[in-house]
Amino acid sequence: MTDRTGRWEIAEYERLAEIAISAVARYVEESQAGDVPVGSPPPLPELVERLDLRSLVREGGLDAERFEPWLGRVLEHSVRLHHPAQIAHQVGAPDVPAAIVDLVHGAINQPMSIYEMGPAAHAMERVVVDWMTEKLGWPDGAGGVLTHGGSLANLTVLLAARAAAAPDAWVDGVDGTLAVLAPPSTHYSVRRSVAMLGLGERAVVDLEVDEYERIVPAALEDALERCRASGHRPMALVAAACATSTGLHDDLEAIGGFCREHGIWFHVDAAHGAPALLSPAHRQLLRGIEHADSAIWDAHKMMRTSALAAAVLLREGWRLEAAFRQRAAYLIYEDSDDAGPSLLERQVECTKAPLGMRIFMNLAFRGEEGVGRYVAERYDKTLRFWELIEARPGFECLSRPESNILCFRYGRDPELQIRLREQLLRGRRFHLSSTEVNGERWLRMTVTAPATGEETIEELLDAIEETAAAA
């Protein structure tokens, strides 16, 4: 019933929105209650079939009538992030205010990189970025930009670090002398960024880590020696707050001190852990981040926005613009008080979604304190789950958790952990992940859904024992 001119049929919008909102509301409600299976998708070709995708994409045919049952099938085959037994990955169960932003943006479309193409959304990004640099404890002159995810944020930061170390690289390319110091446990996007920036993957100098894959500060000197001995100079050193696979934090204070002493750009990958700054009881986990030259911060993990919304943050904001326009670096520096109406010189994207609006809305409705409380409650629950698991014979945890990520295992057989995970997924009652730490295989949980409770974990441990006994 679309108007032939392509103009909106307002009644169609209202009808579809009504159907979608009520279906999604029911979906979240039953997910939270935990009385539906948590997941396990059919094989991809089967799902393409079940949702009629090939015929719909060619012939169309959806209308308000058919939309309702069809959307029901789509939701049935969607990951239920609000489900108590959804403890697999780091993406958050979105909160209501951010969810509404996506509904609004989907209709009004605010490509806000340039102020005039989304004034309100643009203003929100500016305010959110300023707020984040304040939370990091950085001085005036700090700045940044929002971008589509932590991976792109790491790339953007390393581009700025490259500009600082080799200002001519933008025009001349790199000369093969730059290196990036990072632990083997660093997020894969760091290694990938180094390769994409033309340094070559071999330019990553491995930092020594302990049995929990945390950087050993006492061995930094040695890594720097190795770096120099091979004819390289460090462009940046990357630490994690917290590490993706273990949820543990590097010692930012010690590492930051080393970097300052040696004039090395200190980058903290705080994609997951930065929001702990909002919890008075947990912000000490990031002690030392105030000394960093750069950090990244994902909001679609612990700040409960939909994917994606990430921040690139720099202690000296002008260095971000220098990253994209080396030759004009001085001009930009002199102009840096004038924020200007465009974000194009700070980011990879041209058109960009109104990412700041998602973050802003959660803060505006819940307050800094409410968002901080959400983080604190997830972290505290995970600590409680650690106690439960440690108390069960046959189970052990990698370490006391420092975040909402916890590695544990049943027995020590690596094959068993993988079999357990696969069988639990097939059972459709639990969705958890698995990882390797220091060469050993672990099951891994990330506690994001507010509905996950002690009974969820007791049931999970029961299910693991039963599955192992039946194998």
Q: Report the residue number, 187 or 431, with the smaller CB distance to ligand PLP.
A: 187
Closest contact distance (angstroms) between CB of 245 and ligand PLP is 9
Of the pair 90, 326, the CB lying nearest ligand PLP is at 90
Residue 290: CB atoms within 10 A of its CB come to: 14
CA distance 248 to 241: 7
Per CB under 6 A, the list member of 159, 240, 277, 302 interacting with ligand PLP is 240
Contact flag: residue 187 with ligand PLP (CB under 6 A): yes
Q: In this structure, is the dihedral angle defined by the CA atoms of residues 53, 58, 61 and 67, taken in order, positive or negative?
A: positive
Nearest to 183 by CA among 220, 218, 157, 225: 220
- Least distance (Å) from ligand PLP to the CB of residue 309? 9
Q: How far is the CB of 241 from ligand PLP (least distance, A)?
A: 8
Q: Closer CB to ligand PLP, residue 90 or residue 467?
A: 90
Tell me how far CA of residue 174 lies from CA of 161, 180, 200, 233, in angstroms. Answer: 13, 13, 10, 12
Nearer to ligand PLP, 312 or 376 (CB): 312
Structure tokens at 19: 């159907």
The reply on whether position 269 binds ligand PLP by CB under 6 A is yes
Nearest approach, Cβ of residue 69 and ligand PLP (Å): 33
Q: Which of 93, 224, 271, 329 binds ligand PLP (CB under 6 A)?
A: 271
**Closer CB to ligand PLP, 241 or 361, in the complex:** 241
Residue 448 within binding range of ligand PLP, rule CB under 6 A: no
- Of the chain, the end-to-end C-alpha distance in Å amounts to 56
Rounded Cα–Cα distance for residues 148 and 201 (Å) = 23
Distance, CA of 133 to chain centre: 18
Strand partners, 342: 114
Q: In whole angstroms, how far apart are CA 223 and each of 171, 183, 335?
A: 30, 10, 38
162 touching ligand PLP, by CB under 6 A = no
CB of 372 to ligand PLP, least distance (A): 19
Question: For ligand PLP, which residue of 90, 110, 147, 185 counts as binding (CB under 6 A)?
Answer: 90
Q: State the minimum distance, in angstroms, from the CB of residue 406 to ligand PLP.
A: 15
Query: According to the binding rule CB under 6 A, does residue 310 interact with ligand PLP?
Result: yes
User: If binding is defined by CB under 6 A, does position 316 make contact with ligand PLP?
Assistant: no
Q: How far is the CB of 298 from ligand PLP (least distance, A)?
A: 5
- In the complex, the smallest distance separating the C-beta of residue 179 from ligand PLP, rounded to whole angstroms, is 20
Could you check whether the bond before residue 252 is cis, i.e. omega within 30 degrees of 0? Answer: no
Applying the rule CB under 6 A, the residues between 123 and 152 that interact with ligand PLP are 149-151
Binding mask 290-309 for ligand PLP (x = CB under 6 A): --------x---------x-
- Residue 308 in contact with residue 355, Cβ under 8 Å? yes
Q: Smallest gap, in angstroms, from Cβ of residue 300 to ligand PLP?
A: 6
Question: Is 272 an interacting residue with respect to ligand PLP (CB under 6 A)?
Answer: yes
Give 206 or 390: the residue with its C-beta nearer to ligand PLP. Answer: 206
* Segment lying near ligand PLP (by CB under 6 A), choices 80-88, 121-129, 268-276, 331-339: 268-276
Sheet holding 143-147, edge to edge: 143-147, 310-314, 294-298, 266-269, 233-240, 178-182, 204-206
HSE at residue 249, side-chain half, CA atoms within 13 A, is 24
Q: Cα–Cα distance between 124 and 205 in angstroms, integer? A: 38
Beta bridge partners of 182: 206
CB of residue 448 to ligand PLP, shortest distance in Å: 12
- Chain residue whose CB lies nearest ligand PLP: 150
CB proximity list for 352: less than 8 A, separation 6 or greater:
111, 112, 113, 146, 147, 148, 343
Tokens of 30: 């039953």
DSSP per residue, 276-296 = GGG-TTTGGGGTTGGG-SEEE
Of the two residues 84 and 149, which places its CB atom closer to ligand PLP in the complex? 149
Q: How far is the CB of 136 from ligand PLP (least distance, A)?
A: 16
What is the Rg, in whole angstroms, of the alpha carbon atoms belonging to the chain?
A: 24
3-state secondary structure 208-228: CECCCCCECHHHHHHHHHHHH
Of 33-41, 166-174, 265-273, 429-437, which part binds ligand PLP (CB under 6 A)? Answer: 265-273
Select 86 or 244, whichever has its Cβ closest to ligand PLP: 244
Alpha-carbon gap, residue 265 to 182, rounded angstroms: 12
**10 Å Cβ neighbour count for 104?**
14
> Residue count at the site for ligand PLP (CB under 6 A)?
14
| Residue 244 in the binding site for ligand PLP (CB under 6 A) | yes
Rank residues 151 and 434 by Cβ distance to ligand PLP and give the closer one: 151
Q: Which is nearer to ligand PLP, 82 or 272 (CB)?
A: 272
Is residue 189 a contact residue for ligand PLP (CB under 6 A)? yes
Please report, as ranges, the residues that interact with ligand PLP according to CB under 6 A. Answer: 90, 149-151, 187, 189, 240, 244, 269, 271-272, 298, 308, 310
